[in-house]
Structure 1
Amino acid sequence: MFTSPRSSAPRRALSAAATAAVLALTLAACGSGDPKDSSMPGMHHGSGSAAASSSASSSSSSSSGRFNGADVTFAQQMIPHHQQAVEMAELAEGRASDQDVKDLAAAIEKAQDPEISTMRGWLKSWGRPGSSTASGMPGMQHGAGGTDMAGMMSDEHMTALKAAQGTAFDKMFAQMMIDHHEGAITMAEDEQKSGRSADAKKLAGTVITNQTAEIAKMNRILGRL
C-alpha cells in the first residue's frame, strides 16, 4: 500500500521526539552517577588522582606491615652495633696517623649514621621499641670481650683504643674494626635468611657488600703497618 509523504511526516516527528526524550534521560542518568565509577569511560579525571593517591597510601601502609621477628631483631641489634662502629670511627680523628685509616673511619661514620636513622624509623613504624645502647639489649653478652652481640667491643677494648695514638692506634683500630665488621656481616646474613621486610633485607645486603670490602682494605692496611 502506498504511503504519501503527508501521512509519514507525523510519524517521523513522533520518532524524533521519542529519540530526544531517551537521550535526555540517558544524559541525566550519567550526570547523576558516581564520578568515581571506574567502569564509566572518561570518568577518571579529577577524582582519579585522589583515588591513585589513596591507593598509594594504602599500599605504603600495607608495605610497612610486612615484617617479622627477625627484622625487628636485626634492627634492634644493628643500631647499637652501628653506634659503636661510629664511636670507634670518631676516635680516629686526632689519634690515627695513617691516612687510609682516617679515610676509612670517615667512610664508616658517613655510611652508618644514616643507617641508624633508617632502622630507628622502621622500628617506629612497626611499633617496636628501639635501643640506643647495647647494654640495654637483652642477650647481648656473647661477643668480643664478653659483650652481647657478635663483634661488639668490650669496655676494656674501647678504653684501650681511646688511649692509643699513632701507629698503635691504626693497628688496633683496624684489628678491632675487622672483628666488628665480621659480627655485623653475620647479623646481616641472618637477616637475609630469616627476615621478611624487603627494606631490611636490602640494607642487610648493603652491610655485607660494604663491610666485606672494608675488611679487605683493613687487612691491606695491617699488612703494611
Structure 2
Amino acid sequence: MARYRRTLLAPLVLLLLAGCGGAPTSTGGTPAVPGPDAAGSTAPAPVPASAAAPGSFNPADVMFLQMMVTHHGQGLELVRLAESRAQRAEVRTLAAAIDVTQTEEQETMRGWLRNWGQSTEADPDAHAHADHGGLPATGPEQIAALGRASGAEFESAFLNLLIAHQHNAVEMARNETRFGQDPGARALAGRIDQSRTAQINQMLAMLG
C-alpha cells in the first residue's frame, strides 16, 4: 500500500488476538455467502447458525473468524463516524455500504463460531497470537483521534485510516484462503479479499 498517502495516517497498533490454539478439527458448518455488491463490498445475508450445512473446520478457520469479528467491530466504529461527519456524499455512501456489509458478515461469523462450539470473542491476551505475527489493528487511540477531526481533515484522516484497516483485512483473508479448511469460511475470505481490495482502490481515487 505504498501508493496511498500517509500524512494523516496514524501508525498501526499491533493488537494480538487469540483463537489460534487448541481448537480441534471438528464438525461444524457454513452457509453460502453471496458475491460483492455494487459498492465493492461483500454482503452475505445473515443465516442462523442452526441452518448451517455440515462441514469440517480447523484451528485456522477459528482464528480467522475470531480475529475478523474483532476487526469488523473496529471498522464499524470508523465508518459510523464518517456516515454523519464526512463532507462528500460519495464518502458517506461508501461508509454506509461498509456498515451494512460488515454488520451482516459479523453476525454470520459469530453464528458459525457458536455452531462450532467456539468463543465468538478473541482472547485479550496480548501474547496469544505471537506465533502468528500478531494482528495489525486499528487501536482506540486512532479512532479517538479521528473523532476529534472535522471537515476536510476528517475525510482525509478517515480515508487513510480505513485504507490501512481494509488492507489488514485483505491480509487476514489471504491467510485463511491459504490455511483454512472450512469451505464457507474460505469462500467468505475470498469475497473479503476482493471487496476490500475494490474499496481500497475506490478510496485511493477519493484521495486523489
TM-score scaled by structure 1?
0.64
Task: Identify the residue that residue 160 of structure 1 maps to in structure 2.
Answer: 145
Aligned equivalents of 2:118, 2:129: Cα separation in 1: 22
Matched, 1:136 2:127: no
Aligned pairs (5 A) from 1:1-225: 63-64=54-55, 66-131=56-121, 136=124, 138-139=126-127, 149-150=135-136, 152-223=137-208
Aligned length: 155
Shift of 1:86: 0.9
SS in 2 for 1:94: helix
Q: Deviations over 1:79-108 (max 9, x none)?
A: 010111111110013311011111110111
| Structure with the larger helix share | 1
Aligned equivalents of 1:122, 1:137: Cα separation in 2: 23
- Identity among equivalent positions (%) equals 37
CA pair 62-218 structure 1, distance change in 2 beyond 3 A: closer
Aligned equivalents of 1:159, 1:130: Cα separation in 2: 25
Aligned equivalents of 1:221, 1:198: Cα separation in 2: 35
CA pair 121-138 structure 1, distance change in 2 beyond 3 A: farther
TM-score scaled by structure 2?
0.69
Shift of 1:155: 2.0
Which residue identity is paired with 1:63? P
| Structure with the larger strand share | 2
| Larger RCO (CA within 8 A; separation ≥ 6) | 2
CA pair 61-113 structure 1, distance change in 2 beyond 3 A: closer
Report the RMSD for the aligned CA atoms in angstroms. Answer: 2.1
Aligned equivalents of 2:128, 2:73: Cα separation in 1: 14
SS in 2 for 1:205: helix
Shift of 1:141: 8.3
**Contact 1:70–1:195 (CA under 8 A) maintained in structure 2:** yes
Shift of 1:62: 7.4
| Structure 2, gaps ≥5 residues long | 1-50
**Contact 2:81–2:147 (CA under 8 A) maintained in structure 1:** yes
Task: Identify the residue that residue 13 of structure 1 maps to in structure 2.
Answer: none
CA pair 185-140 structure 1, distance change in 2 beyond 3 A: farther
